[in-house]
Amino acid sequence: MSYEEGIFYLVATVTVLGGLGVVLARNVVHAALFLIVALLGVAAVFLLLAAEFLAIVQTLIYGAAVTILVLFVMMLTRVRDVPQAVDGPQKPLAFVVGAALLGVLVLAAVSTDWGALGARESVQLVPLRDLGSSLFRFWVVPFILVALVLDVAMAGAIILARSEEGE
Amino acid sequence: MIGMEHAWLLPVLPFSSFVILLLVGKYLPRRGDWLAIGAMVAAFVLFLFMMADLLGELETGAEFEGVRSGIQWLPLEELGLEIRLGFLFDQLAAVMLAVVTFVGTLIVIYSMGYMKGDPRYGWFFAVMSLFLASMTTLVLADNLLLLYAAWEGVGICSYLLIGFWHERRPAAEAAKKAFITTRIGDVGLLIGIILLWREAGTFDIREIFEFARGGGYSPEYLTLAVLMLFAGAVGKSAQFPLHVWLPDAMEGPTPVSALIHAATMVVAGVYLVSRTMPLFDLADPVALAVVVALGLTTVMLSATIGLVQTDIKRVVAYSTINSLGLMMVALGAKSVTAAMFYLFVHGFFKALLFLASGNVIHGTERQDVKELGGLQSEMPLTALAFGVGVLSMAGLIPFSGFWAKDAILHAAQSHLNAAVVGWLSFSIFLTALYMARLYLLTFTGRPRDKHAHEHAHEAPPVMLWPVLTLAVLSTVTGFWAFDQVGEALGFPGGIGRFVFFEEPESFHFTAGTAAISIVAVVVGLAVALWAWGGEAAPARRLAETFRPVHNLLLNGYYIDRFYQWIIDRVVLLAGRTLAWFDRVVVNDTGVDGPAGLGVFWGYAMKFVQTGRLPNYALAIASGVVIIAIVVLAVRV
Amino acid sequence: MIPLEHFLVLGAILFSLGVYGVLARRNAVLIIMSVELMLAAVSINFVAFAGYIAPEEFRGLVFALFVITIAAAEVGLALAIVLRLFRNRTTSNVDEVDTLRW
């Protein structure tokens, strides 16, 4: 096992453990904390894939903004921090479906000949400058649209969440 | 000049009368009876013109094939079908039309008196007009399709007129019975027509004859077709076994019985066979043998049944069936002359008998001889006319019936066998017997119902004159058999030279046959006088002694009961089974089944909408997984 | 020198965990968190492909970037809905929100 692979396994283990915590934790707040772990793990994976900008963006947005948001909503919806039944009646079926999906995906990933599709041995580094210029040159239209989506989402969230008279 | 080419007007005149009466009849003065009568008078006058024209043609001595008129109605060459409103006027049609137009006119006039005061007076004349239009069309039709249409037309009018007083249950039932019974025959007729058309490719009668003479039909095929045609005649002309409707048809008003069920419609079967005689001739002899057999059976059946009936009109009805049987026997002997001669004179004396009965009914308001008797004194003229009718029907010389029956006997002797002649002679005896019985019980002897007798009165002139006219005609028309008489009137000779099949026939007066029939008649009359004269004691004793036979005859050999049993046990049973099948299998299972299934499925399916997000998410996820597995399997 | 399949398998595991979470959890907020997990897994896949198979034009990276952005917007909106739901029903248990049923 090479140096990189070892780090990969470490990061991967942490991420998976975080994911497991999200879906299995009894305590809701604990689940939120596990989410932070998982998402930061994903950021580390991005680093391993030589996408530093993406790792930073992931950390900032997910690790900070989204999780804060989640915790706030938990507070506002008065989730008890004592363990209670958080799993629904579909648990067994969900397990089956999840396992089946896992099997299919892993099978697909492993059995495909990635070499024939042009896979390289290692990852290419991505200069940030090139990424930026590409973003504003080739991908400018989706970029603007995404900005629009953010606007709408923000406005929508405000309208949905504000208090009415007498509430 | 008005001539034979105007034959198409003959049906048009009464038909127009019908249409007008139908639409505006109730607004016309006297409900428009004058319109119906006027149309018929005009038709008769037209007929006279046509006759004159015809006689003129015959005088030239050339081969006369009849004159055609009419229009093409629906040419459908792609189907090999051509529907033509075509009319053909020849000697055969002329004889028939003489009866139809003349007797028709007389009876419509008679109806003015008989139907007076009836709430549906106008409708009566309208349907009578329609009937006369259909009848003339039937006679004049030059193609089988039009003939069939007219055949059905007269059937409908018969139904409407028998059931004229349809508030009476028996009348409604009788009308139904008549229609259904003749319908059975009509199916045969239609099949026969289709069979003939199928090979010949045409409905035209003359063309079919050409085709048949040219050997276009195989003998078995032609025989079958001809027997099918005869089936129609069996129904319409009340031959055994479809004779059962005619006695019941007496529920209709007496003018209807006289016109339709004596003089014209019932003889349509005889006319049909006469018209298609060339086909019968070319077919296997078994066809004509069937005709003779059924005709003879009908003759004997009706004569014996009529002997014990007590309703005046029923007795006359059975005598009509008797006469129809005789005509069929004549046709079976291939003598169109004898049959048409009898048809001609029969039209007069049978109508006479019915109208005179109508006078009796009108005068006494009774129809059953058990309630009549001794009416000679109250209604002398009617009695006289009725007597003439009786003697003509019985066939006493010199009345017209004698000459016609003689012609039939002669034909039977020449072409059939002695057994037939024997039976016919016996039937002449029976006929004299029951006709005389009818006269004696109605007009002589002690009146059985004092009240009826006291109020009995002679008929009014409008009803009397037609009766007397017919009586005169019943006496003299028989002499048309002789060539001298015919030539004097402008005909090529006697009736035998006017209408014939293949060869003109002169009238032969053979002493042998004449003697047989005269003797039979006289003996019959004598026996009747003994049995029913005065107190009618001998008849009563005989009826008591032979009670079972008497009952058998009274019930018409229980044929009606038998038919009713078939209807109840077979037809209705089949109907009920089919109804059950339709209701349970087709409707409940076949139609409601899938519908119910759909409803049930909808109900079952709605439980999928639980409203819970996790359930929906599970469904989506499962679907995706399954598709992914399938794709993976297919790809790998 | 990490083979591509490793990243793909990691993405698969995280995705499956997310699916399980969406289907099994009761609390609406927990479901949303599981969705976040799924989106993150997808991003890993995209970036991995971008790194190993098609680095020109950085398609995978850009896509992952957009995924993150949209995910953030969606989370905000979803949580606003949960808040409103909570205000109306005093519950954030998705099993109890079932009026739109037969």
Element (H, E) at B475: helix B461-476
Burial (CB < 10 A; 0-12, 13-18, 19+), residue C20, is: buried
Backbone angles phi, psi at B68, to 5 degrees: -100, 150
Band the pLDDT of B38: cuts 50, 70, 90: very high
Residue C14 confidence (pLDDT): 96
Residue A79 confidence (pLDDT): 67
- Grouping H, G, I as helix, E, B as strand and the rest as coil, residue B81 is strand
Q: For the ranges B180-189, B364-373, C10-19, which has the lowest average pLDDT?
A: B364-373
Element (H, E) at B83: strand B81-89
Q: How far apart are CA C16 and CA A19, in angstroms?
A: 10
Q: How far apart are CA B14 and CA B41, in angstroms?
A: 10
Q: Is the pLDDT of residue A166 over 60?
A: no
Touching check for C42 and chain A: CB below 8 Å? Answer: no
CA-based torsion, B39, B42, B48, B53: positive or negative:
negative
**CA C60 → CA A129, A139, A141, A154, C14, distances in Å?**
16, 12, 16, 26, 18
Beta carbons within 8 Å of B129's beta carbon, 6+ residues apart: B14, B15, B17, B18, B21, B36, B39, B40
Mean pLDDT value of segment B288-296: 92
CA of A151 vs chain B CAs: smallest distance (Å): 27
Note whether B135 and B481 are within 8 A (CB). Answer: no
Quick: pLDDT tens for B344-358: 999 999 999 999 999
* C-alpha count within 13 angstroms, C-beta hemisphere, residue B419: 4
Cross-chain residue pair C98–B611, CB shorter than 8 Å: yes
CA of B615 vs chain A CAs: smallest distance (Å): 8
Say what the ipTM of the complex is: 0.90
Residues of A in contact with C10 (CB under 8 A): 12, 15-16, 45
CA-based torsion, B628, B633, B635, C2: positive or negative:
positive
Note whether B401 and B475 are within 8 A (CB). Answer: no
CA of C96 vs chain A CAs: smallest distance (Å): 11
Chain C residue with CA closest to A90: the answer is C24
Residue B363 confidence (pLDDT): 84
Q: Six-digit token pair at B19?
A: 């249409």
The beta-carbon neighbor of B632 closest among A88, A97, A108 is A108
Q: Which residue has tokens 């005989």?
A: B542
Band the pLDDT of B534: cuts 50, 70, 90: confident
Strand partners, B311: B368
Residue B264 confidence (pLDDT): 86
End-to-end CA gap in chain A: 61
Q: Is the pLDDT of residue A103 over 90?
A: yes
Q: Is the pLDDT of residue B629 over 60?
A: yes
The beta-carbon neighbor of C62 closest among A85, A102, A135 is A135
CB count in 10 Å sphere of residue B532 = 24
Residue B62 confidence (pLDDT): 63
Residues of B in contact with C23 (CB under 8 A): 614, 617-618, 621
Beta carbons within 8 Å of B227's beta carbon, 6+ residues apart: B188, B192, B287, B290
The beta-carbon neighbor of C94 closest among B606, B609, B612 is B612
The beta-carbon neighbor of A101 closest among C16, C27, C47 is C16
- Grouping H, G, I as helix, E, B as strand and the rest as coil, residue B141 is strand
Cross-chain residue pair A73–C79, CB shorter than 8 Å: yes
Q: How far apart are CA B217 and CA B205, in angstroms?
A: 15
| Ordered DSSP codes for B214-241 | TT-S-HHHHHHHHHHHHHHHHHHTT-TT
Q: Is the pLDDT of residue A133 over 70?
A: yes
Band the pLDDT of C98: cuts 50, 70, 90: confident
Residues of C in contact with B606 (CB under 8 A): 102
**DSSP type of residue C101:** -
Q: How far apart are CA B112 and CA B34, in angstroms?
A: 9
Mutate to test the interface with B, among A104, A105, A111 (most CBs of B within 10 A): A104
Q: Is the pLDDT of residue C43 over 90?
A: yes
Residue B175 confidence (pLDDT): 93
- Grouping H, G, I as helix, E, B as strand and the rest as coil, residue B89 is strand
Chain C residue with CA closest to A86: the answer is C26
Q: Six-digit token pair at B25?
A: 């009849």
Q: How far apart are CA B196 and CA B563, in angstroms?
A: 31
Burial (CB < 10 A; 0-12, 13-18, 19+), residue A99, is: middle
Q: Is the pLDDT of residue B480 over 90?
A: no
Backbone angles phi, psi at B8, to 5 degrees: -60, -20
Q: For the ranges A123-127, B356-360, B559-563, C9-13, which has the lowest average pLDDT?
A: A123-127
Residues of B in contact with A100 (CB under 8 A): 625, 629
Touching check for A148 and chain C: CB below 8 Å? Answer: no
Q: Which amino acid is at B172?
A: A
Q: Is the pLDDT of residue B21 over 80?
A: yes
Q: How far apart are CA B387 and CA B616, in angstroms?
A: 102
Q: How far apart are CA A71 and CA A69, in angstroms?
A: 5
Cross-chain residue pair C97–B618, CB shorter than 8 Å: no
Give the ranges where C53-100 is alpha helix by DSSP (H).
59-89
Backbone angles phi, psi at B84, to 5 degrees: -125, 135
Residue B456 confidence (pLDDT): 78
pTM of the model: 0.71
Beta carbons within 8 Å of B458's beta carbon, 6+ residues apart: B359, B363, B378, B379, B380, B381, B382, B464
Residues of A in contact with B621 (CB under 8 A): 97, 101
The beta-carbon neighbor of B611 closest among C19, C22, C100 is C100
Closest alpha carbon to B111 in B256, B14, B307:
B256
Q: Is the pLDDT of residue B558 over 70?
A: yes
Q: What angle do CA B40, B41, B42 make, to 5 degrees?
A: 90
Buried b (16+ CB within 10 A) or exposed e, B225-245: bbbbbbbbbbbbbbbbbbbbb
Q: How far apart are CA B295 and CA A106, in angstroms?
A: 100
Q: For the ranges B56-70, B192-206, B579-593, which has the lowest average pLDDT?
A: B56-70
Strand partners, B204: B143
Cross-chain residue pair C12–A73, CB shorter than 8 Å: no
CA of C29 vs chain B CAs: smallest distance (Å): 13
Residue B327 confidence (pLDDT): 93
Note whether B153 and B134 are within 8 A (CB). Answer: yes
Q: How far apart are CA B105 and CA A140, in angstroms?
A: 107
Chain B residue with CA closest to C21: the answer is B614
CB count in 10 Å sphere of residue B149 = 16
Q: Six-digit token pair at B70?
A: 């009419």
Residue B225 confidence (pLDDT): 92
Chain C residue with CA closest to A5: the answer is C2
Chain B residue with CA closest to C101: the answer is B611
Cross-chain residue pair A58–C68, CB shorter than 8 Å: yes
Closest alpha carbon to B458 in B386, B399, B392, B529:
B386
Q: Six-digit token pair at B140?
A: 């004049």
Element (H, E) at B297: helix B285-306
Cross-chain residue pair B625–A101, CB shorter than 8 Å: yes
